[in-house]
Structure 1
Amino acid sequence: MAERLHCCIRASLAKRLRPGRKEPPCRPVLFLGIGAVLVLTACKGGESAATLPIPVPGGAGTLGSYFVQSFEPYEAAAAALRDTTARYLFQKNEWRFSAVPGPTFSSYPLASARTEYAHAVGLTGAGQTISIVDEGFRQTHDTIAGRTVATSGALPVADHGTAVASVAAGSSSRMIGVAPGANLALGSSGSASSVTAATRTALQRGAVAQNNSWGFPVPATSASFDTVFGTSDGAAYLAALDAYAARGVVVFALSNDKAATTSELMEGLPALRPSLETGWLAVGNATPAFDAASVQSAQMQSASCLNAARWCLVADGSWNAATAASNSSYGFTVGSSFAAPQVAGALAILAEAFPNLTPHQLRLRLLASADNGFFAPDGSVELVPGFVHGYSDVYGHGFLDVRAALLPIGTTSMSLPGGVEVKTTGPVIVAGAAIGDAVERSLGVIEVEVTDSLAGGFRMPAGALTASSVPRPMAEGLLARATSDDLSARRAAAAQALTEPFRAFNGRTLDFTSPDGSLSGALLIPASGDADAGYGISAKHALIDGPVGLDIGVKIAHDRGALGLGAADDGLPASDLVALQLGLTGESASGGFISLSGETGIADLGAPAYLSGVSAARFSSLDLDLGQREVFASGDRLSLRASLPMAVTSGRAEMVLPVVRSAGRSAFEPVALDLAPSERQVDLAISYQRPLAPGLEFLAELAYAENYGNRAGVSDTAGVLAITFSF
């Protein structure tokens, strides 16, 4: 029979509890607490400390079925728990194994596993049950009193089980565990019949996880399997494991033998019984070096994951945990025994956050989100179709990361009526610049349900599903006109209206004039290789000519980008449009001039994917240019321009979305989309030109746009200084 080592007690049992490394029992441990240096044993209590209550800015864990997409709003709350709250800081320790001279380790298991983020949003594991199989418990200890919903087998008062339970679900004035709101089903590990009974109880109680911080000290081989499970008692236990693992998640602590080269039987059992793997996790103990973003390195304090690596991860098993000496006693201890219950507690946290997921799906979230950036993978496993995660023979899938497990993993998608799935990692609908942020604002008060690669449900602002094509930066337009126009002709030209009919469009413009001069206009043609450019024609005719002029024009175009509404995967939105244009010009004998241009039109936005009831869109634009010649020097020209670029004035569409309501449920609902932006773009510009010498022209121009691209609050400013020489 094998021996177990725990708190100075020796007994003959066919299993071994796992409080720490394989060293003489009751090894002294140097523990540097907050503001104090204490010399303790692994079995004794520590000093008291002041405690602050845990804030729950996210509410009491009742967040509905859809969780947050970002912890940014909760960063301050999480930092307050981690950095200033005494019962969190109770776990911030420096320690060393005194029986084996070596380095001092710095540990903060709550912070390294990012547990404070779950607590900051109000997640505590409430409504969930964790099964803990161990040698015994002090059920009246402050950390777990009143939380036991079921027991099985003889449960003496014992340190080890009390400590394990406090790590998984403890909550008192002195300490907090991972899932402080979870219930406990406590079972005995004293015999084969008792662990069988505990496993059956876990199934009956619907426990999300069963923690086992003990193991058979035999290798995971077929011979060991036959020895342990070949008896009637062993067969009954295996049957109970089969039944429970088909529904919940069995968590086993790794051996604490750092020299081990093969996994022990229980942590490696799925290698011998593959059907168990979907409901199995092995957990090792590692001390990490980490910052706010990730783990940089980790030193194993237990055995490596080895042949259990496919279903293994690690956590920091260095805790000030409850002891059985009294209802308020605590002691520092190290071992995989106290890494495993962190994983069990994390499963309870996830079960509260994602009530629509099964424990097996939650298990995958822990593996998929484990921090594996600090090692080179030895292998990988496809956890779900299309999502692969690398693992190490030493660290398994990596370090436990509760924060990452609560955030979207992989890509997110949204279900639409008819079974259509659309990716939401980018915009779903793209609106033209003339529509601006109208669609986004229509959806701004709506939240929709999206799911990630591991079926986790999340609330997402529906406005994030949209994007709008933005006009090219004003600086580009100013520079293009300064370098391509004949500045001398531009300065000397009479006031003109309707001169830039395609200013808001993508593509190149070619001007034309009829031989008799009565008709002029412009062609919009795609630039070479530009699949997103539009095409069209604009023509104008002078109704009145002279010092006061009146022009009438028409514009017909197929546009991509300026005006349209379409699916993001189709490129820039397209539309067909027609517009009526009017222009008024005036010249004074003193050199003053004015031009006023306006247009109104209608566009067919087609039938974009995912939208219905799309109406025709009406749009308009307006330009005013006024100025004076001979202001500062002979031949100069000063002008001021104000304009309202093309914008939709009316239009509507409808989109059926999985809308999340306050009760935490989603349902397909039609959402009306107003296609007219609430704030139109307004452009202001000032321009000054003068000749410097024959053939030498100077231009200074400054422009400003408010609500740029018809997006409220967005602005753009540009200026250009140009000197051109022609000969």
Structure 2
Amino acid sequence: MWAGGRTGAGVTVAVVDTGIDPDSPEFAGRLSPASKDIYGTRGVEGPDDHGTLVAMVAAAARDNTGILGMAWGSTVLAIRADEPNSCGGDNAADPTTDCAFTDTAIANSIDYAVANGAKVVNLSLGGPDPITSRLSAAVRRAVDSGVFMVVAAGNEGLPELEAFGRTMVDAGNGGLIIAGSVGESYIISDFSNRAGANPTYYLAARGERICCTYENGQLYVDADGFAYLFSGTSFAAPQIAGAAALLAQAFPNLTGRQITDILLRSAFDAGASGPDAVYGRGILDVFRAFQPLGATAIAGQTASLPLGDGTGVASTAMGDAFARVRLPTIVTDEYGRAFSTDLSGTLASAELQPRLYGALGQQVRSVAAGSERASMAFSIDARGRQGPRIAALRLSEEDAEQARVLAAQVAVQLSPRTELAMAYRQGADGLAAQLRDAERPAFMIAGTSRDTGMLEGTDAAFALRHRLGDWGLTVSGESGSTVTAASVRHAAEMRGRRVDEDVASLGLALDRRFGELDTALGLTWTAEDRTVLGARFHEGFGLEGSDTLFMDLDLGWRPADRWRLGASWRQGFTTLADAPLVGAGSRLASNAWALDLARTGAFAPNDTLALRLSQPLRVSGGGVNLLLPSDWSYETLSASYAEHRLDLTPSGRELIGELAWRGALWGGDAGASLFYRHQPGHFAGRPADHGVAFRWGRRF
């Protein structure tokens, strides 16, 4: 905390005690000129060192000698409140036993402290009697005005607080802490009164062997080289007061009640779990008190953004782009406290797609029927899992018991020139290709250029093709959802949020055959509900989704009988929807391509041998300009913003080479593949993925 400039500077700590040594160098330049004797006749310097020592624990200077106060930059308002002629001055371990403080003097001191700008009031005093209504009212006024108060628990070693402490807690009404004492091993001190039946506002701090005695403003060391150390809850209290002063400086919006709540919630839980009769809420933990508590959000935004969550996960088109970004910003916690953080560590790169498992990991049966004007086809899960009956398909009872529809399509010829296809769990691109009789070799690993760059599931799709002379015009569309990566999915489920987001597309394509050359040119508009080319960001960013325009070119040429050359290219342009944290120029460019060479009848009359080299969709340029808070004003409770570029271009480039064969074998259908993936998932540092795959199936 000190390294961050949190010293208590600008915060006044009132020490209501036996006065102070005004000549001590520990308070040079930081002793409030309003310091006084509440009785008005004796001066601020008292008959003993108790008030001075308490003030030192809270605020002694950082001067490389003696004690260092918790809030060493704060201003000390010393208020001498001991009853005249009540102090013996015998310099005992806890000299307050020799001094008397009336409720009226304490009440007047509290009122005086508030009137002179004190944010923190330390009372290292107490007694066996309950407080009067006069003192209770003064405590209530102070807390209601935003002041934090701390009171020593007392040194009688009792299992319960004395009446003074109990009634002070009641009067404090959430803005006052009772301070108990622990030693260097964090065990409750023998002399410290315990929390007992009042653990809610009890907090322990170091109160044993606290430095030191001073003479003439210098640390006193005896002839044998020893310094005297003091113990008592009187010295635990000013540590808590100093911590409160640090919080008040760092977060000037906090009230005394909020400071109280923060110190208690962030305490180290000692003793029995939770609030207990010995340690109350635990032991002071200043470091944790300076960490965000409760729900956090980007400063100025309303949607929560827990720092323990992943704040974003890239899509497959972005690969390792998130590994290089920085996202410095300001977040606020439940108390409106502003914290600087870098969200880049909470961004996750895309998960590597298990392409081989996707090609081999399913057991599927196909059911098809058709005529000249209509056709139907279904892909059915044949793993024997219990699924819904599909009576409309007229499957046998046995098949229906074990079948589950994975995908289905229906194609109907509406007129001699018009065809319509509809599908379930199948994309519109495949439907459109079928309607125009496009030839596409079958590969297990290498995909076509029609890759969308995201993990996507299609619910329903359609394609309508109409022939216009030698041309074909196809309108297609689909709806589905983007699938969230596991790391973000778990966090979303824990908050009861959706784990996928809607995506829909609409396409228009022209195709024509020129002799042995097939051509197709298409445009596809894709609208994502909350994702950006498949990348998901935490709802705390307030992003509103994106739109992508894909341009597609497909070419197929037959240079000779049984040979085919194919090429395809996709170019994408993505624009983010307007949102409060999205800056101008937030757009992406992406592309994918594939080159094919195929021969039919390579080893048998109806088999196919094909070679493909392809690149899955990859962001080739652009990014997101995020307007993130760079500073926070506690005066206006508003943020200043700076633009941060989130570059979404990966450093790697995945290239896939695959040699694939498909044909009849041993009375069934078989497929084999030899493949190599360079920089899988567009990760520059990821080792190559290569292997051999074989698939065979036969219906019995």
TM-score (norm. length: structure 1):
0.62
Residue 211 of structure 1 aligns to a residue whose secondary structure is: strand
Give CA deviations for 1:394-437 in whole Å, capped at 9, x if unaligned. Answer: 32222111111111111123465xxx622232689979849959
* Alpha-carbon shift at residue 325 of structure 1 (Å): 4.3
Moved more, 620-629 or 712-721: 712-721
**2:357 aligned with 1:479, yes or no?**
yes
Taking the aligned partners of 2:191 and 2:539, their CA distance within structure 1 comes to 50
Q: Corresponding residue for 2:292?
A: 408
Shift in CA distance, 586/284, structure 1 to aligned 2, threshold 3 Å: same
Give CA deviations for 1:256-311 in whole Å, capped at 9, x if unaligned. Answer: 2223434331453243xx4x324322111134757xxxxxx767751112354332
**2:96 aligned with 1:217, yes or no?**
no
> More relative contact order in 1 or in 2 (CA 8 Å, sep 6+)?
1
Q: Corresponding residue for 2:242?
A: 345
1:212 maps to a residue whose letter is L
**1:645 equivalent among 610, 613, 617:** 617
For the Cα contact (< 8 Å) 2:613–2:657, is it kept in 1?
Answer: yes
Taking the aligned partners of 2:352 and 2:323, their CA distance within structure 1 comes to 23
* Alpha-carbon shift at residue 124 of structure 1 (Å): 1.6
Shift in CA distance, 506/342, structure 1 to aligned 2, threshold 3 Å: same
Taking the aligned partners of 1:693 and 1:567, their CA distance within structure 2 comes to 48
RMSD of aligned Cα (Å): 5.2
* Alpha-carbon shift at residue 186 of structure 1 (Å): 1.9
For the Cα contact (< 8 Å) 1:580–1:600, is it kept in 2?
Answer: yes
Q: Corresponding residue for 1:333?
A: 230
* Alpha-carbon shift at residue 122 of structure 1 (Å): 2.9
2:332 maps to a residue whose letter is T
Q: Corresponding residue for 2:263?
A: 366
Taking the aligned partners of 2:679 and 2:109, their CA distance within structure 1 comes to 70
Q: Corresponding residue for 1:258?
A: 157
Residue 163 of structure 2 aligns to a residue whose secondary structure is: coil
> Residues 486-505 of structure 1 correspond to what in structure 2 (within 5 A)?
500-502=450-452, 504=454
Q: Corresponding residue for 2:180?
A: 284
For the Cα contact (< 8 Å) 1:430–1:572, is it kept in 2?
Answer: no
Shift in CA distance, 299/611, structure 1 to aligned 2, threshold 3 Å: same
Taking the aligned partners of 1:670 and 1:255, their CA distance within structure 2 comes to 50
Q: Corresponding residue for 1:703?
A: 677
TM-score (norm. length: structure 2):
0.64
* Alpha-carbon shift at residue 210 of structure 1 (Å): 1.9
**2:88 aligned with 1:173, yes or no?**
no
Structure 2 residues not aligned, in runs of 5+: 84-101, 221-226, 365-438, 484-497
Taking the aligned partners of 1:530 and 1:202, their CA distance within structure 2 comes to 54
Taking the aligned partners of 2:448 and 2:608, their CA distance within structure 1 comes to 23
For the Cα contact (< 8 Å) 2:612–2:659, is it kept in 1?
Answer: no
> Residues 532-551 of structure 1 correspond to what in structure 2 (within 5 A)?
532=501, 534-536=503-505, 541-544=511-514, 546=516, 550-551=519-520
Moved more, 237-246 or 667-676: 667-676
Taking the aligned partners of 1:239 and 1:697, their CA distance within structure 2 comes to 87
> Residues 590-629 of structure 1 correspond to what in structure 2 (within 5 A)?
595-600=566-571, 610=580, 619-625=589-595
Shift in CA distance, 404/675, structure 1 to aligned 2, threshold 3 Å: closer
Residue 447 of structure 1 aligns to a residue whose secondary structure is: strand
Give CA deviations for 1:619-655 in whole Å, capped at 9, x if unaligned. Answer: 442314367989xx999968563526154867988x7
- What is the aligned residue count? 557
**1:396 equivalent among 263, 270, 280:** 280
2:228 maps to a residue whose letter is G
**2:46 equivalent among 152, 156, 174:** 156
2:338 maps to a residue whose letter is G
> Residues 22-171 of structure 1 correspond to what in structure 2 (within 5 A)?
118-150=1-33, 151-153=35-37, 154=42, 155-156=45-46, 158-170=48-60, 171=62
Shift in CA distance, 604/564, structure 1 to aligned 2, threshold 3 Å: farther
Shift in CA distance, 198/159, structure 1 to aligned 2, threshold 3 Å: same
Residue 194 of structure 2 aligns to a residue whose secondary structure is: coil
For the Cα contact (< 8 Å) 2:442–2:660, is it kept in 1?
Answer: no
1:623 maps to a residue whose letter is W
* Alpha-carbon shift at residue 453 of structure 1 (Å): 1.0
Shift in CA distance, 268/459, structure 1 to aligned 2, threshold 3 Å: same
Taking the aligned partners of 1:140 and 1:240, their CA distance within structure 2 comes to 31
Residue 302 of structure 2 aligns to a residue whose secondary structure is: strand
Q: Corresponding residue for 1:384?
A: none
**2:201 equivalent among 286, 306, 311:** 311
**1:188 equivalent among 44, 62, 80:** 80
Q: Corresponding residue for 1:722?
A: 693
Q: Corresponding residue for 2:338?
A: 457
Shift in CA distance, 347/661, structure 1 to aligned 2, threshold 3 Å: closer
For the Cα contact (< 8 Å) 2:591–2:619, is it kept in 1?
Answer: yes
**2:456 aligned with 1:506, yes or no?**
yes
Q: Corresponding residue for 2:654?
A: 683
Taking the aligned partners of 1:339 and 1:147, their CA distance within structure 2 comes to 22
